[in-house]
Each structure stands twice: as structure tokens, then as C-alpha cells.
Structure 1
Amino acid sequence: MSSDTTRTRVIIVPASKPALPTHIKLRHDPGRGRWHVLAPERVFEPDPIAIEILKRCDGVTSVEQIATDLAKDYNAPLQEILNDTISMLQELSDKGVVKAA
């Protein structure tokens, strides 16, 4: 692989502001009552928690704020939510499904 095509791994941290790249879409299928992440030649069916995180990935809201909102909404421990959110977003970032600034 040439150095021109090598992708640098983005590390997701609390201050990261994740977003879906323009070629990735989060769509609800009302007929099936399910959410899907549509990517070129791939379709993901995220679990309900992942959906709540992905809905908040607007490129403006930080991972820390997303976790804070979820901890409040679900009355759950902030640190646990933050760790799980970072872990999930890191995995999706590594697959190119999420970008972060």
C-alpha cells in the first residue's frame, strides 16, 4: 500500500466531535421498525443504544456531551456511559463509519 492511501487512525476521546461521513446514512425503515446504517456496499443494523449515540453524532456535539446526555436520559453512571460510547465510536471510526474532529 502506498503512503498516499494510508489512512491515519483517529483516536476517539471525550473532546472528539463525531459525525457520519457524507457517504454514510442513518435511516429508519418504518415498515420494519428498524434503524440501519447505510454505507457503500454495507448495511449495519445497530442496537438501540448505538442508535441513540449515532443520532447525536452531528459533528458539533462532543463525545463527553453525548455521554452526559445519555447518562441523564437513562439515569446511568456517566463514566460507564462515556467509556462505552468511546469504545463503540472508536470501533466505528476504525471501520470508517464515523469521522471525528
Structure 2
Amino acid sequence: MSRPRLARHVRLSFDSTRQRPILLLPETVVVLNDTGAAILERCDGQRTVAEIEESLAREFRTVPEGEVPRFLAGLVARRCVELADG
């Protein structure tokens, strides 16, 4: 199972001006919605994608099917998230 984690050059933060969670990349800032931030907070390289989905489902009661893998796939393509097999 894949265990997502933020790439070394990426940092999850909070922008006090925008009052929004953000993803900091070299020379780029990505403003996140609350769902995106919740997913990325769980990308610690220890939890699998399935465990992240389960955690979100416990916290928010419902998680649309396929939302987490779809979101992470986009960030993997942009090299913001890395998948470690484990």
C-alpha cells in the first residue's frame, strides 16, 4: 500500500492574511480548501491512502468515494507529494 508524504521541498502552512491553509512550494503558493488541508495533514509517510480515508470518514462522517486518491494523484503529478511503498 502507498504511504503518501509531502515532498521535501513542500511545506503545509497557514496564511494568516488569507485565513486559509496553504501549500508552500519553491516560488509558488497553493491555497487549499479545508478538505485538501485535512488530507495533507495526514500525509505523514506512515499512513496508507486507505487509512487516511478512514480517518477523514471518522472525522467528517462522509468522504466522497475516490476523492482522496484523486486529490493525491494530482499532487503526485505536480511532485508535491511522494508515495512510499510499505
Q: Normalising to structure 1: TM-score of the pair?
A: 0.77
4+ residue runs of structure 1 moved beyond 4 angstroms?
A: none
Q: Which has the larger radius of gyration?
A: 1
List gaps (5 residues or longer) in structure 1: 1-14
Tell me the residue number matched to 2:44.
Answer: 58
1:27 aligns with 2:10: no
Tell me the residue number matched to 2:77.
Answer: 94
Distance 1:46 1:97 in 2: 13
2:55 to 60, 66, 69: 69
Tell me the residue number matched to 1:4.
Answer: none
Over residues 41-99 of structure 1, what are the superposed CA-to-partner deviations in whole Å (9 max), with x where a residue is unaligned?
Answer: 2110011100000000001111100000111111115x71xx11000000100000100
Return the structure number with greater strand share: 2
CA contact (8 A) 2:20 2:33 kept: no
CA contact (8 A) 2:6 2:81 kept: yes
Q: Normalising to structure 2: TM-score of the pair?
A: 0.89
List gaps (5 residues or longer) in structure 2: none
Distance 2:51 2:69 in 1: 12
1:63 is matched by which residue type in structure 2? V
